[in-house]
């Protein structure tokens, strides 16, 4: 049984945290003061997208929604750095467009097999205490903590890579046409919406000349607003360089070919004016089953008046299909290559913004509460059991202007200040 066709998915990716730097001192026989030798933490693993040319659906992402890379290892003594975290490699089908879930901006377009993309970068490892030795601070009892990795929610959207797209109402013969001009084997039956997901086939016109043809499931009126299969499959026409509009001219269902043609054109224009203006060939299909040529001639006159090439075909009887494919190949020679979307996403500030001042507010019991990413990171670097490390922390707070802000807000000697799990009495 064939797997369901899934062309959208929402996933969360989280890169690994960088390892912490080590606090360590050189120990060697007969060496009284070996000095600090704490190694740096390893870099957190990144989340990386890669194209798998054998994948054709986003089905894998229906059951697994969160992808997490490995954390970096902590540094150790003897100046040994921690091991970097393992990258998380995510395979996606060719043609997958990745968007930011909040802004809908394009982050990347995975249309080339040899171009991986880093979707979430791992955090840098923290420095070991070997970096903090100075002439006046020869025994640094602190090191830096590793930085957190990036975390984001993204939407994956598969937009098939096809040169030519077949569009038209349901049951007009698009799947039959694809099956006779390529080796594709789409499901074919005489009822509407037989095709429930796009099919691709390669059309070999002559030696050295070929193109990819996509059978897009039948469009109905209101599709641009989500009716029927709606936006689910209109997106797959986005990249097509050329469209072939297939219209049933047999009259077997009592439909007017001109009205059908205009209805589909209106839906394409409503969905994307640029798409409706794309080069198009029109194929009047099922000519061998037509009761008379009234509808066929009316459509032909209407289409040629619009300046579009018109072809009389019967996909089932393989009449006129070769001429149609040759015309498509000739048209493609003059058209630009398949669209690859340029990123529109603008990187936001990192999750931990070290430039943002801590937030200060006063609790009901009079305690001054200070919190914020900058402070949280700073405290992760401090060994509060070491006098020198506490002095370094105090200097960082003063240089940041925190105490000046507390003074401006009316703090008094003896007031309690709370910094997460640390509380102290304020003294000028």
- Can you say which residues are annotated as belonging to the binding site for Mg(2+)? 175, 195
For residues 121 and 16, the answer to whether their CB atoms sit within 8 Å is no
Which residues contribute to the annotated binding site? 168-175, 193-197, 215-218, 285-288, 314-316
- Binding site members for GTP: 168-175, 193-197, 215-218, 285-288, 314-316
Question: Residue 66 and residue 77: Cα distance in Å, rounded?
Answer: 35
Q: DSSP string of 361-377?
A: EE-TTS-EEEE-HHHHH
Taken in order 60, 64, 65, 68, the sign of the CA dihedral is negative
Helices (H), 11-62: none
CB < 8 Å & 24+ apart, contacts of 102-107: 102/153, 103/345, 104/155, 105/343, 105/344, 105/345, 105/346, 106/341, 106/342, 106/343, 106/344, 106/345, 107/154, 107/343, 107/345
Burial, 386: exposed, middle or buried (Cβ in 10 Å; 0-12, 13-18, 19+)? middle
CA distances from 287 to 166, 186, 291, 295, 324 (A): 18, 22, 9, 10, 14
């Amino acid at each position: 049984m064939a797997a369901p066709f899934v062309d959208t998915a929402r996933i969360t990716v989280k890169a690994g945290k960088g390892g912490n730097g080590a606090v360590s001192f050189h120990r060697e026989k007969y060496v009284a003061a070996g000095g600090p030798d704490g190694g740096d933490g390893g870099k957190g693993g990144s989340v990386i997208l890669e194209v798998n040319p054998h994948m054709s659906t986003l089905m894998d992402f229906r059951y697994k929604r969160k992808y997490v890379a490995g954390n970096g290892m902590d540094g150790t003594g003897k100046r040994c750095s921690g091991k970097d975290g393992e990258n998380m490699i995510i395979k996606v089908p060719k043609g997958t467009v990745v968007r930011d879930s909040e802004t809908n901006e394009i982050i990347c377009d995975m249309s080339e097999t040899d171009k991986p993309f880093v979707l979430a970068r791992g955090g840098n490892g923290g420095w070991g205490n070997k970096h903090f030795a100075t002439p006046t601070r020869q025994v640094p009892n602190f090191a830096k903590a590793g930085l957190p990795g990036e975390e984001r929610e993204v939407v994956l959207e598969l937009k098939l890579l096809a040169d030519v797209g077949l569009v038209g109402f349901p049951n007009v013969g698009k799947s039959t046409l694809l099956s006779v001009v390529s080796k594709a084997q789409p499901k074919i039956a005489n009822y509407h919406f037989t095709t429930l997901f796009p099919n691709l086939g390669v059309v070999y016109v002559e030696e050295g000349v070929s193109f990819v043809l996509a059978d897009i499931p039948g469009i109905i009126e209101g599709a641009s607003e989500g009716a029927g299969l709606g936006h689910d499959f209109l997106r797959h026409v986005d990249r097509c360089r050329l469209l072939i509009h297939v219209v049933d001219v047999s009259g077997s269902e009592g439909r007017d070919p001109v009205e059908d043609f205009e209805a589909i054109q209106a839906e394409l224009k409503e969905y994307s004016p640029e798409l409706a203006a794309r080069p198009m060939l029109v194929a009047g299909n099922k000519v061998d089953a037509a009761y008379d040529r009234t509808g066929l001639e009316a459509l032909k006159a209407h289409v040629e008046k619009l300046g579009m090439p018109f072809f009389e075909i019967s996909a089932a009887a393989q009449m006129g299909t070769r001429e149609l494919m040759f015309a498509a190949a000739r048209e493609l020679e003059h058209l630009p290559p398949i669209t690859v979307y340029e990123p529109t996403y603008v990187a936001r500030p990192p999750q931990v913004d070290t430039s943002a001042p801590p937030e200060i507010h006063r609790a009901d019991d009079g305690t001054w509460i200070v919190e914020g990413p900058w402070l949280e990171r700073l405290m992760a670097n401090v060994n509060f059991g070491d006098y020198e490390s506490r002095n370094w922390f105090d200097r960082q707070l003063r240089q940041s202007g925190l105490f000046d802000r507390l003074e401006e807000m009316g703090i008094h000697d003896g007031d309690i200040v709370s910094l997460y799990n640390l509380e102290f009495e304020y003294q000028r």
